[in-house]
Amino acid sequence: MASKQIIIKTERDLQAMRPACAVASMVLDEVAQFIRPGVTTKEIDEFAADRIRQHDAKSAFLNYRKYPCNICISVNDEVVHGLATSRRVNFGDIISLDVGVRYNGYIGDTAKTVAVGGCNLHAQHLMDITERALYVGIEQAVVGNRVVDISRAVQNYVESNGFSVVREFVGHGVGRSVHEEPQVPNFVENDKSSPKLRPGMTIAIEPMVNAGGPEVQVLKDGWTVCTKDGQLSAHFEHTVLITDSEPEILTLVKQSAVG
């Protein structure tokens, strides 16, 4: 089945995809900087649309499966796919921002959770563990490993710190499409054979970590995913290239690297 195939990127693909990932990374940073107490999530989304346009890119999420916003903005107990509304963010809230852009025909997909102004230690700890879980996963993104080695590392790290990983949403291959094979879960599924990692694979690794239990529910808006127990959730994501040596984090780019 063609749709089940993992697409290996050539150096030529990567020459186009690296800038796409750089744009996603810059937009994410710009949007994070824009956030301050009192702005609405709609204003954040409009700012993101503006920045994406300035980079001559397009939102990869707008209209994807009828998703109605430019980026995903998920507040506090919202896990992913939060919608932009007239809701104002407050000092102490934590906001998960997920940016997907299309540029040069390729997608860059990256996310992070930031505090509005500042936050309490519990929220900061959740964000820190989630970000570190992402890097613990990336460390396993090497030839010789399978996808499940990433999943196991993330899950063990998160659970040993007393938090839980979301099961219903997973990382994924990424390239010309937002979601390609393989799936990259943040937990270990016992019965499935897991693909071997090979040079040229580009995958989005994206731990979604709940402070309480792993269960989530979708709100009546049909999109916003939130924790069932109402506790906080955080989300960090990078698009990563598997190479013959170290993983290359495509969405980790110094501002000076791109004009």
Measured CA to CA in angstroms, residue 229 lies from 10, 48, 120, 164 at distances of: 44, 30, 19, 12
Instruction: Report the C-alpha gap between 63 and 116 in whole angstroms.
Output: 28
Stretch that binds Co ion, among 33-41, 62-70, 107-115, 162-170 (CB under 5 A): 107-115
From candidates 30, 109, 149, 180, binder to ligand MF3 by CB under 6 A: 109
Instruction: Report the C-alpha gap between 199 and 142 in whole angstroms.
Output: 8
Our finding on whether 68 is near ligand MF3 (CB under 6 A) is no
Query: Minimum Å distance from CB 33 to Co ion?
Result: 19
Our finding on whether 234 is near Co ion (CB under 5 A) is no
Our finding on whether 112 is near ligand MF3 (CB under 6 A) is no
From candidates 8, 33, 38, 64, binder to ligand MF3 by CB under 6 A: 64
Torsion 139-140-143-144 (CA) sign:
positive
Our finding on whether 20 is near ligand MF3 (CB under 6 A) is no
CB 71 within 8 A of CB 80: no
| Smaller CB separation from Co ion, 126 or 134 | 134
Phi, psi of 63, deg, nearest 5: 75, -5
Query: Minimum Å distance from CB 120 to Co ion?
Result: 26
Residues 6+ away with beta carbon under 8 Å from 15: none
Instruction: Report the C-alpha gap between 225 and 213 in whole angstroms.
Output: 14
From candidates 13, 77, 98, 181, binder to Co ion by CB under 5 A: 98
Query: Minimum Å distance from CB 58 to ligand MF3?
Result: 13
| Smaller CB separation from ligand MF3, 79 or 144 | 79
Neighbours of 206 (CB within 10 A): 27
Stretch that binds Co ion, among 30-38, 88-96, 155-163, 229-237 (CB under 5 A): 229-237
Site residues (vs ligand MF3, CB under 6 A): 61, 64-65, 67, 72, 80-81, 98, 100, 109, 172, 178, 204, 206, 237
